[in-house]
Structure 1
Amino acid sequence: MKTIKNRNINGRPAKKPSEKKAYKVTLKMATEEYYSLKAKARSAGLNRSEFIRRCIQSGVVKERLTPELVGYIRQICGMANNINQIARTANSAGFFEVQKHLFSMTERLDNLIKRIKDDC
């Protein structure tokens, strides 16, 4: 009797464990989000699963602002109010009386912008 060692010579080769998709993730979406996903996947020529996989691989999610950065932004808003008040005073009293305040304010604003750039 003859024995056959490798019966399945033809057909699809077995996938490596790293290529197999072993995890399933369920996701709830609103109707608008679902149809947006379908439309984007269709325009990309992919099915929804492959579209989401590619978004995960190449997508970028920005991190939240730190409390320190939020404080810097508040300081900039306060400085904007001060600049408006200085401009109003400069228009009514004259520019030369307000010049010192203006220079100190621009210096502080430059320092804050540098801190924000360093933190990001």
Structure 2
Amino acid sequence: MEHKEYKKRNKGGRPKKETAEKLSYRIGVKMAAADYFCLLTRAHEAGISPSEYMRECFRNGHVRERLSEEHAGYIRQLCGMANNLNQLARKANAGGFHDEQWDCKVAVARIHELLTKIGI
């Protein structure tokens, strides 16, 4: 009886992957030097390993690069501005729209500026 309880006990660690999630097949690919260095460069720019880059290309036909620190900063600023706009809208609804008109225009102009920097 004690032996069965011991097997049921959680030993900790990462749960086992499903068969479909395991990376169990290996394919060798020969490349020219220029192609190989191009692969390394693109994988580095995307912030992932060359193997993961090739898997993404196969799955999606393209690879999206990770957000740079600069873009992540812009997105954080946008989140803060969205919060400020919500507060201004609440104030405007409570006290009248005329008082908050200038603040809203400034916030919208800054949001537009950040969106152009990000490239959206």
TM-score bucket of the superposed structures, by smaller chain: 0.5 to 0.7
**From 89, 92, 105, the counterpart of 1:90:** 92
Q: How many corresponding residue pairs?
A: 76
Name the TM-score, length of structure 2 as normaliser. Answer: 0.53
Task: Supply the distance in 2 between the matched residues of 1:84 and 1:55 (Cα, whole angstroms).
Answer: 42
Q: Which runs of 5+ in 1 are unaligned?
A: 1-28, 35-48
- Residue 40 of structure 1 corresponds to which residue in structure 2? none
Name the TM-score, length of structure 1 as normaliser. Answer: 0.53
Could you list the structure 1 runs, at least 4 aligned residues long, displaced by more than 2 angstroms after superposition.
none
Tell whether 2:61 aligns with 1:59.
yes
- Residue 117 of structure 1 corresponds to which residue in structure 2? 119
Q: Report which of the two structures shows the higher radius of gyration computed on alpha carbons.
A: 1
Tell whether 2:33 aligns with 1:31.
no
Task: Supply the distance in 2 between the matched residues of 1:55 and 1:114 (Cα, whole angstroms).
Answer: 31
Task: Supply the distance in 1 between the matched residues of 2:58 and 2:76 (Cα, whole angstroms).
Answer: 34
TM-superposed deviation, 1:32 = 2.7
Task: Supply the distance in 2 between the matched residues of 1:66 and 1:30 (Cα, whole angstroms).
Answer: 32
RMSD (CA atoms): 3.2
